[in-house]
Structure 1
Amino acid sequence: MADVAIVTGGSRGIGRAIVDRLAADGARVMTCGRGPRPGDLPDAIGWMSGDVARPEDARQILAAAQAAFGTPTILVNNAGVQVEKTVADSSDADWELVIGANCRGVFNMTRAVLPGMQDAGGVIVNIGSISGHVADPSMALYNASKAFVHGLTRSIAVDHGPQVRCNAISPGWIMTAMSDEAFALAENPTAAKADALARHPAGRFGSPEDIARAVAWLVSEEARFITGQCLTVDGGLTAASPLNPGLF
């Protein structure tokens, strides 16, 4: 029987790559976003407009997946937002936006699917970030939200195994609209991007498909003994010294 997967935030970027990969691997996929259904989303993919920060929307996304495909056996918590501000500059509205999507959304969706997964088994993959391990400047709420995701991942694995496996992926610089927005904050975006690229031992930035491949592996039987882990997928960025390699 084919897996049933929910992928949050699947309209573009990393989420869309995950949707496409899981569907190509034979899963029946339901995805969601706060906007309307993307026009290029294949007919076989289920869609629901909703905000995962709202518990009632999380329950409705689960209900839509169950009605269309059956009980989910895979959940990928990908939906997220970023606000480029320090703590001092962040507003209450910034807090609600970032913590709502990045923290509450992961909690809401996981809480919704766990009863069914504890009966039938399942795998959860949370999309964290290297920013949950090392702080990007002027990204205080985003950094903190991803650290929350990593911590919650471990708790889910410990509390709900062996029926449910739960891991996180910590992407580095993946070329999406969100990454472009981050580079745009620099005084010289072109120079900042070139410097960042030089710090990657892999010699390139990541693509959404790189993260989708990691998700596909973690939800497969090949990874059946892996749970409670945060897998860094960053082209070696965080393995390298912070010294500028061009000066040595």
Structure 2
Amino acid sequence: MTPRFAGKSAIVTGAASGIGLAVAKRLAAEGAQVVIGDRNVEGLEAAAHDIGNAATAVALDVADAASCRAMVDRAVALNGGLDVLCNIAGILDFGRLADVDEGRWDRVIAINLSGVYHMARAAMPHLVERRGTIVNMASAAGLVGVPFNAAYSASKHGVIGLTKALALEFSKEGVRVNAVCPTGVKTPMVAQASRADIDWSMVMRAAPWLDDGALCDPEDIADAVAFLASHEAKRITGTALAVDGGQTAG
């Protein structure tokens, strides 16, 4: 069978590690030319070396609109167009509301939500040309509330709302826009999230049910992203696909 992304041009943000790296590897393995972006330039260059000739690393700050436009321009110049945009970049910041000051709040929203907006706005004219697709990284915390995680939950609820709005707005142009909503994933971001001042017994009420609460592997989420980005999902748009081991089932 022909690889699902043979001849396709893709952008993956947040690709220096974790889910972004797994997505970039998956798309490249299935034939895509992938331009990967991240603020972690050292990790990004290592990722590009790991992926090989199918990947090009571009330093990216998704919170900066100009950086996002430059990323899209570079991908289009390199590969002649754009078929797939995967907005994976994000941060996690647990904390009690009283401790989450304006700076912490603004940083989470700027990266997790405004970053998706900046990338989508820059990419959309090129995606319209090719009837392409966007896959955004939301979260189970975008479907239900998670205590001590107000900024992150708000940002991911926003990603789902933005996903649905863009899916409708660009449906006549043939651009599909979907989101993936993972539970906890074995990534450096999650590993660094622990804080002593959090009531983790409350947080863990929202743990996945499958396999005794086991976290997902990044590759599990890459499977879902690749499906939604592929022709196999040609009739799917505006969805928020939970990959959460039953966390949001009830």
Q: TM-score, normalised by structure 2?
A: 0.88
What displacement does 1:132 show? 1.1
Please name the residue that 2:190 is paired with: 179
Please name the residue that 2:45 is paired with: 38
**How many Å separate the matches in 2 of 1:207 and 1:196?**
18
SS of residue in 1 equivalent to 2:238: coil
Q: Which moved more, 1:116-125 or 1:145-154?
A: 116-125
Whether contact under 8 Å (2:92, 2:193) holds in the other structure is: no
Please name the residue that 2:3 is paired with: none
Superposed, 1:202-241 pairs within 5 Å as: 202-203=211-212, 204-239=214-249
Whether contact under 8 Å (2:95, 2:198) holds in the other structure is: no
**Partner residue of 2:175 out of 164, 171, 186:** 164
User: Which letter maps to 2:176?
Assistant: R
Q: CA RMSD in A?
A: 2.2
What displacement does 1:220 show? 1.1
Please name the residue that 1:117 is paired with: 127
**How many Å separate the matches in 1 of 2:202 and 2:101?**
27
Please name the residue that 1:201 is paired with: 210
What displacement does 1:120 show? 1.8
SS of residue in 2 equivalent to 1:173: coil
Report the CA distance shift for 1:226/1:110 in structure 2 as closer, same or farther (over 3 A): same
Please name the residue that 1:13 is paired with: 18
**How many Å separate the matches in 2 of 1:185 and 1:218?**
37
**How many Å separate the matches in 1 of 2:13 and 2:20?**
7
What displacement does 1:186 show? 6.9
**How many Å separate the matches in 2 of 1:235 and 1:59?**
36
Q: TM-score, normalised by structure 1?
A: 0.88
SS of residue in 2 equivalent to 1:57: helix
**How many Å separate the matches in 1 of 2:35 and 2:205?**
38
Whether contact under 8 Å (1:132, 1:144) holds in the other structure is: yes
What displacement does 1:187 show? 6.6
Superposed, 1:61-80 pairs within 5 Å as: 61-80=71-90
The percent identity for this pair of structures is 37
Report the CA distance shift for 1:195/1:231 in structure 2 as closer, same or farther (over 3 A): closer
